[in-house]
Structure 1
Amino acid sequence: MSAKDINAPAHVEVESTPGIEKRLDAGGDDGLAFVLENGRDAWTEEEEKRVLRKIDFTVLPLMFVAALFLYADAQVFGTAAIFGMVQDLGLYTLSLVNGAVVLDLSRYSMASGIYYLGAVAGTYPLLLLAQRLPVGKFLGGFMLFIGTLAILTITCHNYAGILVLRFIFGFQSILTPLCIIITAMWWKTSEQPLRAGVWSAGAAIGNLCGQAIDLGAVHIGGVYAASPWKWLYVVLGSIALGLGAVVFAVFPAGPTTCWFLNDRERMIAVNRLLANNTGIHTKKVKREQILEVFKDPQTYCLSIFNFVFSFANSSLGSFGGLLATSFGYTATQALTLLMPASAVAIVSITISGIAINRFQNRRVLIAILFILPSIAGNALLWKASRTNKGALLAGLYMSAIFYGVLPATSALAAGNIAGHTKKTTLNSVTAIFAACGSFAGPWAYKGSEEARGYPTAQTVLMSLFAVCALTMGFLEFCYRRRNKIKAAKLAQLPAAARDPLMGFRDMTDLENPLFVYTT
């Protein structure tokens, strides 16, 4: 064995016993089944780098594409609002306030928000279904589903119709928790932040690409010249259908069976994840892991973060265009001026991912540092003179810096939660909180406050960002305290009790004495 050989012992022989596959299927992790069947060989650093490159150049682009076009579809509703959808579908009412006619956008807010009620209803059942199916096929099939829904949007003719379709569209919110689970299946804990940053950037780039496509689509004319918002859904829905078919065809189920690795490379891909202590995948749903989720403080800390993040994201997505028009710009100008906000989000995510990759145990601190500028940005939107367009635009762009928290929080959710049922359940809970935040976000914007820049929304956002920063600080305290307790217990654990395959026993992070939380 050369000096660069790693992951000794050189080989682990496992005696085959009748019925072992059935027993493993009843509760063991796929990684454990693979190791018991194939053993463990040592490998070189060069071999692992080659395997990692193959994973990065196959799995990561597919996740990026899925995030890009699913979020491009998600953002189109806000753009459609300023290109005739509100008028065509009757998403407004007029009311009399102090003798003046005031535009009431409560219907638009409901149509925007009901998407997230669909997310609340669909997240957990869909993630449980994903646990039972090949994850790649599920992701590709889901893209086909969303693309179809996007095109069907043009068939809506009234308020009731768009409510129904938007509710079903809300199932799309499983993308983030699904990508977090997939990230834990393929990459080491130390590798996850940068990869999470890449597919998170796909979401932000999806907003930017969506806006660019929107800008071209509304000028197509033709059959929808009078309702240009319909072209947005036709174009983006068609792209999602095409790419969904590609993802469905080529996305691998997991490292134990992936088509682009040979037998030895699959062995390396699986065994190198053992030290994560989070497992790879199992179809068995375990009741005790579900119960543990609701006893774990990180569930509530991550849920609060997801609520706040999604509140802000939904506010910007649904009312960003209307906010920009409140500065005195036309609809087309507003759409153009929103693009730099998406660029700020992309840059923030990229910088955050690189920083976390460099400072592995500073994830929470880095997340907090990306929250603070957004507080300042919303303060500008709140207090800057309505005639000072430069300050207002600066505030809008600064408010998008909060997207930089995504690589940190996604990596925490992927690397600090073990046990597949616990991962599925906890990510479902946080996704439901996210959906609630997204539902609540648009309601902070009151149509009667347009001329003043929606001050209620800005003050609510600043308050929530402050709560989020404090919550993240408490989460880091919990992680460090747990690591200290675990280290003390591990020091007393006999060497014979340290199972080398414990990371594939589908144990939770609280159950596994070898598990170490990243902060």
Structure 2
Amino acid sequence: MEDVVDRDKDIAIAVVGEHGHAVDPAVERRVVRKIDMFLIPAMIVGYGLVYYDKAILGSAVLFGMTTDLQLSQVDNSTHPPTTNTSRLSWATSMFYFGMLAGLYPMTFALQRFNMGRILGVVVCLWSLICMLTAAVTSWRGLYAQRFFLGFVESIIPTGFMCIVSSFYTQREQALRQSWWFSSTGLFTIIGGALNYGFGQIKGGSLKRWQYIYLLAGSITFFFGLACFFVPNSPVSAWFLKKDERVVATERLRYGQTGVRCTKFKWCQVKESFLDVKVWLVALMMASAYTINGAISGFGPLIVSTFGWSTLDSILFQFPLGGICFIMILLTGYLSSRISNIRIILLVLCCLPVIAGCTLIWKSTWSHRAAAPVVGYSITGFFGAVVSLIISIGMSNVAGQTKKCFMAATIFVAYCVGNIVGPQLIKSQTKSRHYPELWLGLIICYCITIVSSLALYFVLARENKLRAAFEQNDVDRDKMAFLDLTDKENPYFMYML
């Protein structure tokens, strides 16, 4: 079906044409339920594996990886001797350099070629690279492994963002984006439980951290096999009946975001580069996700400095993950029920993160201290901030190439934040509570707030101008599936 359509236009035209059709609400609800049941569980597992894969490093270092791979260096020339963990910081950051290299080519490959095949092959390759971590014997080898792991994993988040924008209406997207991204918190808990279990292993020919990577890689392989069954769009969704595919496509007409166009359009790339809202969203993501680079790679290690044991430090990932999970789902739900509340919720969720960083920094780090652990836990609000940024970014662009560009740009910014975060941790400043880290994170979240307010005024102003545009339902229906960008289509309205 998709091959017979003019590649300049959206593939939806082959199914529903240029004129609007009435949709039975009961059939639409059944179709949405089917789409949810097929896509959402798979995406939750998929992104959960991505997050677990990254976060493993934080627990692995507590199980001897730093010693086995020479990731820390003791300087005996100082009194007392100091430990330099810069190699661990770079090992954490190297993953995101790999993601940076893979994001744009992987995302545009998903646009041009069969989505299921590309996803399936790349995810199976990812599982192999993950398992090969157990064979690494030096910090140099870990650097290489982390780079290639990031390269192949880059296909998942951008792919999921594009899938949601192609299957769901603008109003529905916030909730669905939050569902798959909530696995950030869910797999913090699941991963913590698994890692706690691995911490009980005694003896054996492998180190405890090697078992963790072998498990993660083997689970990922089975997920990769499932990816081969992912359809390109509602037009070719094999799990829907023919009449249901028509409804699944037609219901997207009103939002003017389009479904799928396989032609890469340089004009849309140029527009994206000149679109201020793309860069405001990117700035918001880069500043907000700086905290993850520090917490996913160093969280358990930082908690252990509060006077808690290795296993206690892993258990304290549970409240962090729980807050992250609940707030992502709650803000997604509220955004789907209340119009134009997304940016307001984003700003509100930034405030507990700032408070948490301040509490960790300024509280007393005595033996088994409670205050910094509380502060560490409430930084889990960062998950809701990032989920809202994804939702705001993807629901406010149209045109397939521009949507792909926005998805890739959001996660390029995500990578920048994750690269910067670990570099803020200076082991030499441990006695002073890592002041560069907490001050840096507070500044980043202030930047997120200012950028969000700027975006709010940009979008509100544009909506006001478009509201004055003379409405014509016939033209509106025709423009919906011409693969126009949000700037080209005067009927497109922005979600605040």
1:261 positional shift = 0.8
Contact 1:340–1:397 (CA under 8 A) maintained in structure 2: yes
- Distance between the aligned counterparts of 2:142 and 2:347, measured in 1? 37
Report the AA paired with residue 381 of structure 2.
I
Q: What CA deviation, in whole Å up to 9, does each residue of 1:402-425 have, x standing for no partner?
A: 211233222212211101111111
Question: If you compute each CA radius of gyration, which structure gives the higher value, 1 or 2?
Answer: 1
Contact 1:137–1:253 (CA under 8 A) maintained in structure 2: no
Q: Where in structure 1 do 4 or more consecutive aligned residues deviate above 6 Å?
A: 20-23
Report the AA paired with residue 310 of structure 1.
Y
Q: What CA deviation, in whole Å up to 9, does each residue of 1:381-407 have, x standing for no partner?
A: 110111271211110011111211233
Contact 2:327–2:381 (CA under 8 A) maintained in structure 1: yes
Which of 471, 485, 491 does residue 514 from structure 1 map onto?
491
Contact 1:70–1:146 (CA under 8 A) maintained in structure 2: no
Residue aligning to 2:7 = 26
Residue aligning to 1:218 = 199
The 1:214/1:168 distance shift into structure 2, 3 A limit, reads: same
Residue aligning to 1:71 = 51
TM-score, L = length of structure 2: 0.95
Contact 2:112–2:264 (CA under 8 A) maintained in structure 1: no
Which of 321, 331, 356 does residue 352 from structure 1 map onto?
331
- Distance between the aligned counterparts of 1:351 and 1:245, measured in 2? 32
Report the AA paired with residue 166 of structure 2.
M
Task: Look up the SS of the partner of 1:256 in the other structure.
Answer: helix
Q: What CA deviation, in whole Å up to 9, does each residue of 1:207-247 have, x standing for no partner?
A: 2211211111233345345x211011011111111222123
The 1:224/1:29 distance shift into structure 2, 3 A limit, reads: farther
Task: Look up the SS of the partner of 1:389 in the other structure.
Answer: coil
Contact 2:319–2:377 (CA under 8 A) maintained in structure 1: yes
Task: Look up the SS of the partner of 2:22 in the other structure.
Answer: strand
TM-score, L = length of structure 1: 0.91
1:122 positional shift = 1.1
Report the AA paired with residue 174 of structure 2.
P
Contact 1:104–1:447 (CA under 8 A) maintained in structure 2: yes
The 1:156/1:496 distance shift into structure 2, 3 A limit, reads: closer
Contact 2:254–2:477 (CA under 8 A) maintained in structure 1: no
Comparing 468-477 with 388-397, greater Cα deviation is found at 388-397
1:496 positional shift = 8.4
- Distance between the aligned counterparts of 1:306 and 1:141, measured in 2? 29
Q: What CA deviation, in whole Å up to 9, does each residue of 1:160-218 have, x standing for no partner?
A: 11111111111223422221111111111111111111101123212221121111123
Q: What CA deviation, in whole Å up to 9, does each residue of 1:36-71 have, x standing for no partner?
A: 39x864331111111111111111111111111221
Alignment of 1:4-403 (within 5 A): 24-36=5-17, 41-96=21-76, 98-171=78-151, 172-224=153-205, 227-248=207-228, 250-387=229-366, 389-403=369-383
1:426 positional shift = 2.2
Task: Look up the SS of the partner of 1:275 in the other structure.
Answer: coil
Contact 1:323–1:450 (CA under 8 A) maintained in structure 2: no
The 1:255/1:324 distance shift into structure 2, 3 A limit, reads: same
Report the AA paired with residue 479 of structure 2.
M
Which of 423, 428, 453 does residue 408 from structure 2 map onto?
428
- Distance between the aligned counterparts of 1:22 and 1:192, measured in 2? 27
The 1:140/1:108 distance shift into structure 2, 3 A limit, reads: same
- Distance between the aligned counterparts of 2:267 and 2:32, measured in 1? 34
- Distance between the aligned counterparts of 1:296 and 1:290, measured in 2? 10
- Distance between the aligned counterparts of 2:405 and 2:483, measured in 1? 14
Comparing 98-107 with 292-301, greater Cα deviation is found at 98-107
Comparing 259-268 with 132-141, greater Cα deviation is found at 132-141
Task: Mark the runs of 5 or more structure 1 residues left unpaired by the alignment.
Answer: 1-19
State the aligned residue count: 494
- Distance between the aligned counterparts of 1:334 and 1:22, measured in 2? 54
Residue aligning to 1:438 = 418
- Distance between the aligned counterparts of 2:346 and 2:476, measured in 1? 34
Task: Look up the SS of the partner of 1:190 in the other structure.
Answer: helix
Comparing 42-51 with 495-504, greater Cα deviation is found at 495-504
Comparing 188-197 with 351-360, greater Cα deviation is found at 351-360
1:501 aligns with 2:478: yes
Report the AA paired with residue 132 of structure 1.
R
Q: What CA deviation, in whole Å up to 9, does each residue of 1:272-323 have, x standing for no partner?
A: 0111211111110101100001111111111111112221111110110111
Task: Look up the SS of the partner of 2:494 in the other structure.
Answer: coil
- Distance between the aligned counterparts of 1:287 and 1:92, measured in 2? 46
Contact 2:7–2:263 (CA under 8 A) maintained in structure 1: yes
Q: What CA deviation, in whole Å up to 9, does each residue of 1:495-517 have, x standing for no partner?
A: 48724121111000000010000
- Distance between the aligned counterparts of 2:347 and 2:267, measured in 1? 33
The 1:21/1:299 distance shift into structure 2, 3 A limit, reads: closer
The 1:31/1:97 distance shift into structure 2, 3 A limit, reads: farther
Residue aligning to 1:456 = 436
- Distance between the aligned counterparts of 1:379 and 1:277, measured in 2? 43
Contact 1:210–1:236 (CA under 8 A) maintained in structure 2: no
Task: Look up the SS of the partner of 1:103 in the other structure.
Answer: strand
1:472 aligns with 2:452: yes
Task: Look up the SS of the partner of 1:116 in the other structure.
Answer: helix
- Distance between the aligned counterparts of 1:347 and 1:21, measured in 2? 39
1:369 positional shift = 0.8
- Distance between the aligned counterparts of 2:26 and 2:3, measured in 1? 36
1:481 positional shift = 0.5
Report the AA paired with residue 111 of structure 1.
A
- Distance between the aligned counterparts of 2:2 and 2:101, measured in 1? 35
1:27 positional shift = 1.1
1:23 positional shift = 8.1
The 1:392/1:419 distance shift into structure 2, 3 A limit, reads: same
Task: Look up the SS of the partner of 1:26 in the other structure.
Answer: coil
- Distance between the aligned counterparts of 2:174 and 2:406, measured in 1? 19
- Distance between the aligned counterparts of 1:481 and 1:93, measured in 2? 54
- Distance between the aligned counterparts of 2:430 and 2:401, measured in 1? 45
